[in-house]
């Protein structure tokens, strides 16, 4: 399940996948920078490749639910908050 699917299901709205992925990536980047983490550190804590973190942050990848949960844990925030912040910006 992708961030686009979660937002559409939870909030009952059709979402352009490119816009949703880009906005989700911006939220991840903001939270990573606020936590003073590098992409490499976030990648290590979320068990992802640093290149994948870069792609997510630029909205070029639409992460799965598993990845969203890993990113949220690494950023020390609930996954629902990442999705809610994304939805609020759409």
Query: How much is the pTM?
Result: 0.81
d(C-alpha 15, C-alpha 20), whole Å: 7
Categorize the per-residue pLDDT at 5 as very low, low, confident or very high, splitting at 50, 70 and 90: low
pLDDT for residue 90: 79
pLDDT digits (tens, 9 = 90+) for 11-58: 555 666 678 899 999 999 999 999 999 999 999 999 999 999 999 999
DSSP string, 5-60: HHHHHHH-----HHHHHHHHHHHHHHHHHHTT--HHHHHHHHT--HHHHHHHHTTS
d(C-alpha 22, C-alpha 76), whole Å: 21
């Amino acid at each position: 399940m992708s961030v686009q699917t979660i937002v559409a299901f939870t909030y009952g709205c059709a979402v352009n996948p490119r816009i949703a992925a880009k906005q989700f990536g911006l939220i991840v980047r903001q939270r990573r920078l606020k936590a003073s983490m590098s992409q490499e550190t976030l990648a290590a804590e979320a068990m992802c490749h640093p290149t994948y973190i870069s792609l997510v942050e630029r909205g070029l990848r639409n992460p799965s639910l598993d990845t969203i949960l890993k990113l949220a844990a690494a950023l020390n925030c609930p996954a629902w908050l990442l999705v809610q912040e994304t939805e609020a910006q759409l």
